[in-house]
Amino acid sequence: MAPSQLDGEASTRGRTDEPHLVFDNLDLDLVIKVLSKTIFSPFFTIFLPLTFLAQVRSTSHPAFIVSCAWTVIVCLFGALRHADRVYANQASWILAPPKLDWGDQIVLITGGGSGIGALLAETLAMRNVSVVVLTKDPPKYETQNENIYTYTCDVSDYAQVQAAAGKIREEVGDPTIIVNNAGVVKGKLLLDLTEDDVKDTFGANTLAHFWTLKTFLPAMLARASGHVVTMSSVLGVVGCAQMTDYCASKAALVNLHQSLRFELDNRYHTPAIRTTLLLPSFTRTSLFSLAALPGSRPGPLGAIWSFLAPELQPHVVVKAIIDALDAGESRVCRLPWYTHAARGLGAGVGVVPKWMGDLLQRLAGADHAMRAYGPKPDAGERLLAEREAQASASASASASVDEKGGSRSDAKAQSE
């Protein structure tokens, strides 16, 4: 199973057209990336004043003064970002952290039988990394890579995780990297969710993280090194309709990540154990293959949304994970770039006015993106149907009363 096979299927699932213009591949993320490497790059802007000085040959020329001011602003901002990164990782101010020796790593991936987990497993295995995959169901594809060890395990069940851990330690060794990636999506309105639905969602999306950490973190603490990757979602910061259980389960992971970071730094005194939190938007995998994303709309509005909020492909998420592991840094990865807006939209933060948040929610169509999921009709549609039936019955009753009243009036007039 090649990564391109997995990536290709996930990327095209749910899409009916292929890009036919160069501009079809242009989006906000690409623009931001180019700008960050040019006019917002401290290294690049240092040469701007020198370039203008060579052209105007005067230090009092407005172009030279503006370029100097811009260079100072960009360099100060870059210095602040570097200081934050150094503090977060307790790293050196000058020397870069040593690159990860992949040959010594054992990577545990939950939910590695399909989607992002499977693509990550195959990509790492190609680097000759030992990869342990925990999957509830048999993998959709049979891997030919001898570096991938697959164990059938329901990670929402603590007993099964402990049982699998014994086999893993005996056959492979203690994992040095944990990627908690397993997750499920029900896509139902709150009133359509069954008790089992809620338990299943929180079991796979939330409790599984606790069970793998309780099982495998002690070995990391003993070594005082390792990396924990938590797959949350931007929906753990900002909620939407028909995803109440999913959003709540992912919100718990945001605070799990932060609390774990505090424990590693201040209680276990192991700052070298890194933690990475991923907050991706809807990703084109089997979980969200039927989701109606704003960029899929026809016409100019769809084109605008495709530019501002492009579909997130699995290989982008995998690259972000590997980059964080390679750098040996603790990170928070928000993907794509527009998800940074969620920092001010969440109800717990409340930076953005309510009307603005609701407007963005409506424009994005977030509350109707999961219409293809759940029972038909759903709880909302059934309620509307009941209201319409009641209104129709009430109107019929009123008409009947009016008709009877009119008949009585006619009869009285005739008798007179």
Which residues are the active-site residues? Answer: 246
Query: What sign for the dihedral angle of Cα 88, 89, 95, 97?
Result: negative
HSE-CB for 403 with a 13 A CA cutoff: 6
SS3 assignment for the chain:
CCHHHHHHHHHHCCCCCCCCCHHHHCCHHHHHHHHHCCCCCHHHHCHHHHHHHHHHCCCCCHHHHHHHHHHHHHHHHHHHHHHHHHHHHCCCCCCCCCCCCHHHCEEEEECCCCHHHHHHHHHHHCCCCEEEEEECCCCCCCCCCCCEEEEECCCCCHHHHHHHHHHHHHHCCCCCEEEECCCCCCCCCHHHCCHHHHHHHHHHHHHHHHHHHHHHHHHHHHHCCEEEEEECCHHHCCCCCCCHHHHHHHHHHHHHHHHHHHHHHHCCCCCCEEEEEEEECCECCHHHCCCCCHHHCCHHHHHHHHHHCCCECHHHHHHHHHHHHHHCCCEEEEECHHHHHHHHHCCCCCCCCHHHHHHHHHHHCHHHCCCCCCCCCCHHHHHHHHHHHHHHHHHHHHHHHHHHHHHHHHHHHHHC
What's the CA gap between 210 and 171, in Å, rounded? Answer: 23
